[in-house]
Amino acid sequence: MVLKIRDVTKRYPGQTAETAVLRGISLDLSAGSSLALTGESGSGKSTLLHLAGALDHFDSGEVEIDGTGLSSLSDSQRAALRRRDVSLVFQQFNLIPSLSVDKNIALHARLGGKWETSWGTRLKARLGLSDLQDHYPEQPSGGQQQRVAIARALAVRPKLLLADEPTGNLDETASAAVMELMLELVRESGTALFLVTHSAAIAQMLDRRLHLRHGTAA
């Protein structure tokens, strides 16, 4: 199991157990599978995604990534786990303007010591980026920039890919095309995908769906 969340609660200062942003959430996600997280604004979606990626601390329960419990890890150990096993894709592409498309794609994998030229070349070909690799991020279209962000996230061959509204800046046609490619590559690489979306159409493309309401699974 790549991601295991058991009875997790999360409160922010001033909150009680009754008003906590997350209250007893549990889920499992295996390699090569995908889960869409849906819910109204303020339901706890992004908070749960951040907890799943070791980006924030929970108050009780446990989160495990590939069998490693996060509650016992120091901040430096969490950072090392993120570099090695977790990648993120956001609505904002977060590409580095001073780096070419090629160097943006390789960045995370090189930092984690996991860059493989053959896999990077394959990702660029599958995502239609081979002819853009010498361009800079402001030159490609929005859909192409998001494909660069997806290639960067998958170049490290993460065990867990977290995506927060990854196609929110794209039109419906471009969004569907980007998601189809991402899901194909996730299955091919054996990565587990945990995705937050407001789009019912996008959610239906994934293997499973979990809806949050007031911090609990509805």
CATH of the domain at 205: 3.40.50.300
Q: Which two tokens stand for residue 58?
A: 């929970």
Domain-embedded: residue 82: yes
Helices (H), the chain: 45-52, 75-85, 101-111, 117-126, 142-155, 172-189, 200-205
Instruction: Report the C-alpha gap between 58 and 8 in whole angstroms.
Output: 7
Q: Which two tokens stand for residue 106?
A: 């390789």
pTM for the full predicted model: 0.92
Domain-embedded: residue 9: no
For residue 142, give its domain range: 32-43+76-217
pLDDT in tens, 97-146: 999 999 999 998 998 889 999 999 999 998 999 999 999 999 999 889 98
pLDDT of residue 178: 86
pLDDT of residue 37: 97
Question: Do residues 187 and 176 touch, judged by C-beta distance below 8 A?
Answer: no
Instruction: Report the C-alpha gap between 151 and 119 in whole angstroms.
Output: 10
Q: Which of 48, 75, 76, 52 is nearest to 64 (CA)?
A: 52
pLDDT in tens, 84-97: 899 999 888 899 99
Domain-embedded: residue 195: yes
In the chain, how many domains are there? 1
Residue 72 CB neighbours (<10 A): 8
Question: Do residues 146 and 181 touch, judged by C-beta distance below 8 A?
Answer: no
Q: Which helix (H) or strand (E) is 96 found in, with range?
A: none
Quote the percentage of the chain above a pLDDT of 70.
Answer: 100
Domain-embedded: residue 202: yes
Domain-embedded: residue 62: no
Q: Which two tokens stand for residue 19?
A: 């008003």
Instruction: Report the C-alpha gap between 167 and 178 in whole angstroms.
Output: 8
Instruction: Report the C-alpha gap between 49 and 67 in whole angstroms.
Output: 18
- Three-class SS of residue 177? helix
pLDDT of residue 19: 80
- Three-class SS of residue 183? helix
Domain-embedded: residue 123: yes
Q: State phi, psi for 176 to the nearest 5 degrees.
A: -65, -40
Q: At what angle do helices 101-111 and 142-155 cross, to 10 degrees?
A: 30
Quote the percentage of the chain above a pLDDT of 90.
Answer: 76
Domain-embedded: residue 139: yes
pLDDT band at 168 (very low <50, low <70, confident <90, very high): confident
Domain-embedded: residue 3: no
Whether 17 has a pLDDT exceeding 80, the answer reads no
pLDDT of residue 111: 87
